[in-house]
């Protein structure tokens, strides 16, 4: 029984700390020849100002470009060939996000597109799961405390 209590306390503690600190990055990409505009945001919608940015072409070549996002979290670059470009932003406070940006021949013909990389909303579901785990853990702890008090009432 002590193991179960210890395990639940650890889950609750880990879930609570993750719930308090958990927030992700959201990267939005807008492609319009001759440039790709990338907007970097925290999951709450606030921009990542002056984030350190690196651009690589298919991870095989040297760094194509580096710099910082502006105060609104935007960074613009002009790809010179079709392929997969890797974009990395680091807010220098522990948040780093890398995405692949596919650039095809249609881009160089002037067609515009706007996209949000898939899988960036997963943090939302993690927050819900951690909140539910926290509620269940607190409820279990209160229930155990109540049972213990009923079994061993304080003598006045």
Report pLDDT digits (tens) over 78-90: 999 999 999 999 9
Say if 117 falls within a structural domain: yes
Give the model's pLDDT for residue 52.
Answer: 95
Say if 27 falls within a structural domain: yes
The CATH number that applies at residue 38 is 2.60.40.10
Say if 82 falls within a structural domain: yes
Say if 22 falls within a structural domain: yes
Specify the range with the lowest mean pLDDT, choosing from 28-37, 102-111, 123-132: 123-132
Domain containing residue 72? 2-151
Domain count, the chain: 1
Q: What percent of the chain has pLDDT over 70?
A: 75
Say if 14 falls within a structural domain: yes
Q: Number of H helices and number of E strands within the chain?
A: 3, 8
pTM: 0.60
Say if 156 falls within a structural domain: no
Mean residue pLDDT across the chain = 81
d(CA 14, CA 58): 37
């Amino acid at each position: 029984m002590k193991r179960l209590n210890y395990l639940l306390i650890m889950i609750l503690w880990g879930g609570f700390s993750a719930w308090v600190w958990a927030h992700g990055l959201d990267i939005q990409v807008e492609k319009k020849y001759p440039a790709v505009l990338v907007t970097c945001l925290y999951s709450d919608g606030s921009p990542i100002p002056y984030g350190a940015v690196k651009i690589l072409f298919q991870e095989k070549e040297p760094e194509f470009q580096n710099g910082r996002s502006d105060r609104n979290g935007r960074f613009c670059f002009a790809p010179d060939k079709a392929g997969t470009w890797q974009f990395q932003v680091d807010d220098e406070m522990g948040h780093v996000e890398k995405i692949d940006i596919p650039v095809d021949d249609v881009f160089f013909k002037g067609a515009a597109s706007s996209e949000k990389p898939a899988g960036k909303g997963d943090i939302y579901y993690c927050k819900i799961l951690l909140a539910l785990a926290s509620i269940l853990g607190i409820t279990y702890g209160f229930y155990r405390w109540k049972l213990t008090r009923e079994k061993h009432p304080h003598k006045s």
